[in-house]
Amino acid sequence: MGMDRRSFLAGGVALGAAASLQLPRAAWAQSNPNRLIYGEIGGVFDKAYKNLGARFQQKTGIELVTDVASSEPMLAKLEASAGQPSYNAVAISFDAVLRGLQRELIEPLKMSDVPSLSKVQSKIQAPLLLENGLIGGIPTHWKAIGILWRKDKVPFEITSWKDLWRPELANRISVQKMPTLGAALMLIAANIVHGGSQKDDDMEPGWAAMKALKPNIREFYPLTSAAITSLVAGDTWVSVNTLDLGLPLASENIVATIPAEGCTWAGDAFCIPKGAENRESALKFIDFMLQDANQIEWAKEAQVAPSTTVVLPPDVQNGLIENADVADKLFPIDFLHAGTNLPKWSDRWLREISG
């Protein structure tokens, strides 16, 4: 979900800071321990990575060179590289990490190779844990997804996911369109609160609930920004969305609610492509990123919750709904199940929900 609010940026910065370059394949593939080629999602993350890269270079002498692509194109690039990836490391969504492992595009990491991994919240790293002390990727951040609503429009207080099905909200709700992880997470939330089990691939309660919700859905939004625009304008009264987006809009009567049952969430993770060079430099970078001071700056600049247990200063925490208490309320999401089933779910969604 968070990915859709990120506009893609390109361009470069002065020497001595992280750069964003489009290089020929031969240049990408060359081994240079003092240069780290890093694929990342872009938008606010691009600027945040440049700033982080400048601090990393100052400390280690290793230059961070970034290239922007969302998770699916990133996996496609890795697949096309035939074991000679253009990147030394990449940052992609949790579901993409797990599908990349399944397709042998991503190299499992030894947890012992990243000393600062011990700082990462156990619930945030859990979806990426493998057997024998391995992990598929190192979480860099996460976002809680719940319910944004207009307190001046909705004639009751929203406290539960099941409130979305109340008749007072007829034609007033927005949810993300398929095929996106955001829409898949909406289906998973509906399934959980109506008695289904993603673990057992029992998704029928969720499908039945989404069909029942159709009269209340006004918009299937392509971008988070579109959903926020409709909410502020009053065209919709409720949006299932990234909760932090609602915090600056309190003056517009928008409330960000974590439902009583819990909430869905999404995150991105650092990982190393199979066959990538400069592994040692890549591991130095992610360990650097997980250090307390850098996680605080990352949360401030990228506007996301840190993956670690670091305590944020009040000026940073006030812009985020996520904290340790919220982490305890996260639904256990099987991101591999969601990502693998997304094409099938999308077809059914178009037939039965949005069609």
In this structure, the answer to whether residues 58 and 155 fall within a common structural domain is: no
Angle between helices 279-289 and 292-302 (to 10 degrees): 80
In this structure, the answer to whether residues 57 and 206 fall within a common structural domain is: no
The reply to whether 182 falls in a domain is yes
pLDDT at 24: 46
In this structure, the answer to whether residues 288 and 339 fall within a common structural domain is: no
Mean pLDDT by 10 residues, the chain (355 residues): 30 33 46 90 91 97 94 93 93 95 96 96 96 96 98 98 98 96 96 92 96 98 94 98 96 97 97 96 97 97 96 96 94 94 96 94
In this structure, the answer to whether residues 232 and 282 fall within a common structural domain is: no
pLDDT at 200: 81
In this structure, the answer to whether residues 285 and 338 fall within a common structural domain is: no
| pLDDT single digits (tens) 32-61 | 889 999 999 888 899 999 999 999 999 999
In this structure, the answer to whether residues 153 and 167 fall within a common structural domain is: yes
pLDDT at 147: 98
Give the count of domains, the chain.
2
Q: How many Cα atoms are found within 13 Å in the side-chain-facing hemisphere of 42?
A: 19
In this structure, the answer to whether residues 156 and 83 fall within a common structural domain is: no
The reply to whether 196 falls in a domain is yes
pLDDT at 12: 28
Domain enclosing residue 307, as ranges:
2-142+267-321
Q: Using CA atoms, how far apart are residues 183 and 174, in angstroms rounded to an integer? A: 11
In this structure, the answer to whether residues 117 and 218 fall within a common structural domain is: no
The reply to whether 105 falls in a domain is yes
The reply to whether 326 falls in a domain is no
Full-model pTM: 0.87
In this structure, the answer to whether residues 171 and 96 fall within a common structural domain is: no
Helix H, strand E, coil C: the string for the chain is CHHHHCCCCCCCCCCCCCEECCCCHHHHHCCCCCEEEEEECCCHHHHHHHHHHHHHHHHHCCEEEEEECCHHHHHHHHHHCCCCCCCCEEEEEHHHHHHHHHCCCEECEEHHHCHHHHHECHHHHHHHECCCCEECCEEEEEEEEEEEEECCCCCCCCCCHHHHHCHHHCCCEEEECCCCHHHHHHHHHHHHHCCCECCCCECHHHHHHHHHHHHHEEEEECCHHHHHHHHHHCCCCEEEEEHHHHHHHHHHCEEEECCCCCEEEEEEEEEEECCCCCHHHHHHHHHHHCCHHHHHHHHHHHCCEECECCCCCHHHHCCCCCCHHHHCCECCCCHHHHHHHHHHHHHHHHHHCCC
The reply to whether 13 falls in a domain is yes
In this structure, the answer to whether residues 244 and 298 fall within a common structural domain is: no
Measured CA distances, 123 to 65, 159, 271, 341 (Å):
31, 23, 18, 23
Give me the CATH number covering residue 155: 3.40.190.10
In this structure, the answer to whether residues 134 and 228 fall within a common structural domain is: no
In this structure, the answer to whether residues 298 and 339 fall within a common structural domain is: no
